[in-house]
Structure 1
Amino acid sequence: MAVSPDTLPPKKKREFIGTDERLLRSLLVRSRETCSLNPIPFVLYRNSNSIIRKTKLLTLLLEDLVVDRDVRSFPASAVLCFEELFILLHNVKTLIEDCKSTSKLWLLIQQQTVANKFYELTLELSTLIDIFPVKEMNLCLDVEETVNLIRKQCSKTDATVDERDINLKHDVLHKLDNIKREIVPQQSKLKEIFTRLQLNDSISCTDEIQILEEEVRNQEDEKSKADIVSLIGLVRYAKCVLYGESSPRIVRRRKFSSSADLTIPADFRCPISLDLMRDPVVVSTGQTYDRASITLWIESGHTTCPKTGQTLAHTETIPNLALRNLIVMWCREHRIPFESTEVKENVNGVTTNKTLIEATKMTVSFLLQKAKASQSLEMANRFVSELRALAKTDSNSRACIAEADGLPLLVKFLGSEHPNLQVNAVTTILNLSILEANKIKIMETDGVLNGVIEVLRTGATWEAKGNAAATIFSLTGVHAYRKKLGRKTRVIKGLMELAKNGPIGSKRDALVAILNLAGDRETVGKLLEVGVVEMASEVMDGLPEEGVTVLEAVVKKGGMAAITASFNVIRKLAMILRDGTERAQESAAATLVNICRKGGLEIVSELAAIPGIERVIWEVMGMGTGRGRRKAATLLRILRRWAAGLYGSPTAAYAAASASSTTATAVVLPG
């Protein structure tokens, strides 16, 4: 949480219900809560400890008032002081807790502003003690001495910051300036700084980075944003240089969940990637996608909405902030780290913050050198794991890794016998492929594409195969690469095998890649040759939305070969039309429309023979999505034209087909 002069709530009079004694006891409880806090350990210790000590004296005063006086009522001035003290103590408690939960480095940079806030609160306490009606209340001598002691303590307070904190801030700023001038920080000095701030391991550094990234989003001042982004670069570098070797072992002990281990709410998944959305945006049709996925779709030359098929009126996107906030809350509830897509305004996908750029270059250089020099696969895995995490953070990191010739090193590890090293290497390439400029490097760097395809076919784990499939999906975002990849039999067979036999997460990775490849007619022919329709039919049993979406794309581009192959799937599509989700119903209706239009009499007759099909279509027309309703209406018109004999079959045939619900060939839809 940000710490600023505006952190504390505006003062307002608190209404106490009940006697003055209850007011005093409530104030005593709040005072005890506040004085039980520990001072801020890493910076501003003297300032926070000073006000806590004064709160302890105030607690003694309140205890004396409760114990030594038969309290029934107080003068009005005393009641006012008590009410104001209650608000003051709340503000003291809030400020200390916020300082402890905010970024340590950012608090260090803001130290004078926060010290001033502690001083202001002390002055408020001094004022309230000065106007406290000691004489009117006939207090005993001990209580009067406590009041005088608090006054004396308050009078000695100032807004001075400890010299050690000032020097530490100077050291941090000096390190940032050196990095900006491309001077590598001295490791021993860096260690000293991070030890002082209690950033003692990879986990604490990772937490610090996440807090700083959240702070960037909360800031409105551009200079503050730039300063925080520079700090992020420093922490990333220090994390790798100081603690990088121990990261994989430590991370496994963290209590964070993985989104892959949870059932992600359907509304939080991107309809394109089927993954958790990190930056949801709305397109002109009203549909929401993850920014990276829809940008990739549009830049690939598509002019339609992927979900509805409608032509996009324009290609501008609007952030869906309400949905993003819900996703952030869900991630926090399930302890899933939420990475935003970027942390600063950028040009061509790469940040312009000089300090961050240089810090990232130093981090990448360090990790690549250590990975190359590793004497064991386990040691290499630790550094490649850090590269993987870095490549996931932002476009600047992806650009730096590729420009530092990281791809040839990663290719070396794709064929590793160490399962985790293979996973980390292919996942790093996947993360690098998000940046458009890196797609060219991946396709043109010797051995990279073949290495990814080999992992897809023979990877040591399903995770490695799934991430290889996701890399293929990312590369197919470029039209020319989609055609090139679609001509490779190894790619087609690898994706098909993964879609048939892989676990749910890996299946999804393969299916979205197949869906993208199905946008090319020539590739659809290859997919039909290896049984894509049969595969989609099998997938519909466990992943109906994904399976029917792939089938829709294949039928749309595959011509009569796809129609013929889809004949045996008609009844399964009818079942999905009735029992599937809205999105699955929409794709099923669209697929049936295409099959019926191109397949003619035999196809329509097969559909018409399904008992209750008209009622199912009517239900979709009434309660489906906009596109689903339109496709269902078209499907109903096709059936009625067939019943009217316009497809070459008499009306009686339709009646006979409808009456044959008890025959062996009919499929009765469950009620």
Structure 2
Amino acid sequence: MGLLWGRIRKNNKHKVSKVVEELVTPNHFWCPISLDMMKDPVTLSTGITYDRESIEKWFENGNYTCPVTNQIVTNFDLIPNHTLRIMIQEWCVQNQKHGVERIPTPRIPISPFDVAEVLIHVKALTLSLDPYGCLELVQRIEKWGAESERNRRCIVENGAANVLASAFDAFANDSNERNVSVLDQILSCLSWMFPLQLEAQKSLGSLASLHCMVWFLKQQDISNKEKSIVVLKELLSFGDEQNMKALVEIEGVNEILLQFLNKRVFSTPTITKASLSVVWYLVSSSKSEKIKLAFVELGLVSSMLDILIDSERNLCEKALAIFDSLCSCDEGRKEAYDNALTIPLLVKKLLRVSALGTDYSVSSIWKLCKFEERDEGKVLVEALQVGAFQKLLLVLQVGCDDKTKVKATELLKLMNPYRAGVECIDSDFKNLKRSN
């Protein structure tokens, strides 16, 4: 009896699989572009129906013809084919027993008119400093953006970032505590509206906006910290010296950035990466001498070396960039000389992070050796001991940019007189302690 039941089960399984194999999807359900079943069928002016996502990508890629008829398209309106969509959904329901999933009814994409209408109301509510009314509208924008990438593009292209940044400035200037909900929601929206236009940059670069974002960084909520540091990173990426100067003059901002880098266990990868970028923009600006000195005094040199020990390549590259910038000043080099990790780590990272990371490593070693004033030759000897000579030869062999080539060549010349009698040791850091 058991054998017979087993045979019946096997036969039934075979029949079901055969039915699935013989299940044929009607040809008019397939999108002519993607050759997948359409989820949101829309009809073009040429009379051909496509899946909305596929035909929109087709036009976004610079095509102006109907893919099937090859006719020039002059009217780009996409008319939802509700009849066909309902037929596809009904067919999916009828064949659910064969493993076919029902296609959900697509949401109607927003139009530029929808966005413009909401933004007009946001402006009005901002002028009257109505945080609750404005919050409701910003949440609607956030919801639209979450529905589809197409909605996000429509929102951004119709100037939402400028309006929201202006609202952020106004509510921040009024009161952070009283308007915290709408300020948080605006940051959430702005975080997917990059790159910011000039008008938005000006609004977010105001003293009130900068103070508000730093205020968010000091709060306990991790989500608020992430949104704020990401928007700050985007703002500083444009290289506006006034924004950088205004930011570093805010009390406690340097300390909070170092805290994000030193106590990464209490942070998130997003916060750590964005914080590194913010620090890099600050220390590499054209008027950064005071900024560098302030960060050096807070222990940024040791923090960067700690990141180089066991972090992923992306973080290491940013840390090497910051370290190289700090080595441009006397105070930064002094801290680097006093740390036993400096030369072994810089040599270890040659050709191990990225081409750009190697450039920064070579530049840092060059600065430390070139401008060494005390114990002349000590750094060169230490670099030789951990294999710098061989690594630099390899850098030249595999290729690098002209500036790095010049520095690597000069380093080899500086090291050459000290090579005799110097034994190369393994730089595995086993006998080195992490900086405090």
- For residue 472 of structure 1, the aligned residue among 224, 232, 238 is 232
Q: Which letter does structure 2 place at the counterpart of 1:635?
A: L
Alignment of 1:268-307 (within 5 A): none
Which residue does 1:108 correspond to in 2?
Answer: 43
Cα 1:403–1:513, aligned 2, differ >3 Å: closer, same or farther?
A: closer
Offset at 1:592? 0.9
Partner of 1:587: 360
Q: How far did 1:513 drift?
A: 0.7
Is 1:364 the counterpart of 2:122 in the alignment?
Answer: no
Inter-partner Cα distance in structure 2 for 1:226 and 1:405: 38
Letter in 2 for 1:465: K
Alignment partner of 1:523 is 2:291:
yes
CA shift, 1:108, in A, is: 2.8
Partner residue of 2:308? 540
Partner of 2:378: 605
- Tell me, in whole angstroms, the C-alpha distance in 1 between the residues paired with 2:317 and 2:32: 49
Mind listing any 5+ residue stretches in structure 2 that lack a counterpart? 1-20, 67-71, 81-109
- How much has 1:576 moved relative to structure 2? 1.4
Q: CA deviation at 1:511?
A: 0.4
Contact 2:283-2:291 at 8 Å conserved across structures = yes
Aligned match for 2:398, one of 602, 607, 623 = 623
AA of the residue aligned to 2:43: L
Which of the residues 371, 395, 408 maps onto 1:632? Answer: 408
User: 1:576 is matched with which residue?
Assistant: 349
Is the contact between residue 349 and residue 358 of structure 2 (CA under 8 Å) also seen in structure 1?
Answer: yes
Of 336, 348, 353, the match for 1:566: 336
Distance 1:618 1:491, change over 3 A: same
Q: How many residues align?
A: 350
Structure 1 residue 611 displacement after superposition = 3.9
Q: How does 1:398-437 map to 2 (within 5 A)?
A: 398-399=160-161, 401-402=163-164, 405=167, 407-408=169-170, 424-430=185-191, 431=193, 434-437=196-199
Equivalent residues in 2 for 1:239-254 (5 A)? none
Matched letter for residue 360 of structure 1? V
Shift in Å at residue 563 of structure 1? 0.8
Distance 1:478 1:459, change over 3 A: farther
What is the distance in 1 between the residues matched to 2:326 and 2:226? 22
1:564 maps to amino acid: K
- Aligned residues of 2:346 and 2:361 also touching (Cα < 8 A): yes
Pick from 517, 540, 550 the counterpart of residue 322 of structure 2. Answer: 550
Task: Tell me the CA shift for residue 35 of structure 1.
Answer: 6.6
Tell me if the contact between 2:244 and 2:282 (Cα under 8 Å) persists in the aligned partners: yes
Q: Deviations over 1:637-670 (max 9, x none)?
A: 2223xx2xxxxxxx5xx535x14859xx9989xx
**Based on CA coordinates, which of the two structures has the bigger radius of gyration?**
1
* 1:28-177 pair list within 5 angstroms: 36-37=25-26, 95=32, 101=38, 104=41, 107-110=42-45, 112-114=46-48
For 1:524 and 1:356, the matched residues in 2 are separated by: 48
The 2-side partners of 1:580 and 1:96 are apart by 41
Task: Note if contact 2:65-2:73 (Cα within 8 Å) is conserved in structure 1.
Answer: yes
Change (3 A) 1:513 1:211: farther
The alpha-carbon deviation at position 536 of structure 1 amounts to 0.8
On the 8 A contact 2:34/2:54 being kept in 1, the answer is no
Cα gap change, 1:108 to 1:467, in 2 (>3 Å): same
Deviations 1:214-249 (A, max 9, x none): 233234339989965x779x9xxxxxxxxxxxxxxx
1:193 aligns to what?
none
Deviations, residues 64-91 of structure 1 (Å, cap 9, x unaligned): xxxxxxxxxxxxxxxxxxxxxxxxxxxx
- Give the Cα separation in 1 of the matches to 2:347 and 2:60: 47
Distance 1:509 1:225 in 2: 44
RMSD (CA atoms): 4.6
Which of 510, 514, 519 is the equivalent residue of 2:279?
514
CA contact (8 A) 2:387 2:425 kept: no
Alpha-carbon distance in 1 for matches of 2:74, 2:215: 42
Answer yes or no: is 1:495 the counterpart of 2:257: yes
Secondary structure class of the residue paired with 1:494: helix
Cα distance change on mapping 1:566 and 1:406 into 2, 3 Å: closer
Q: Which runs of 5+ in 1 are unaligned?
A: 1-31, 41-92, 116-196, 198-206, 235-354, 644-650
Question: Normalized against structure 1, the TM-score is what?
Answer: 0.44
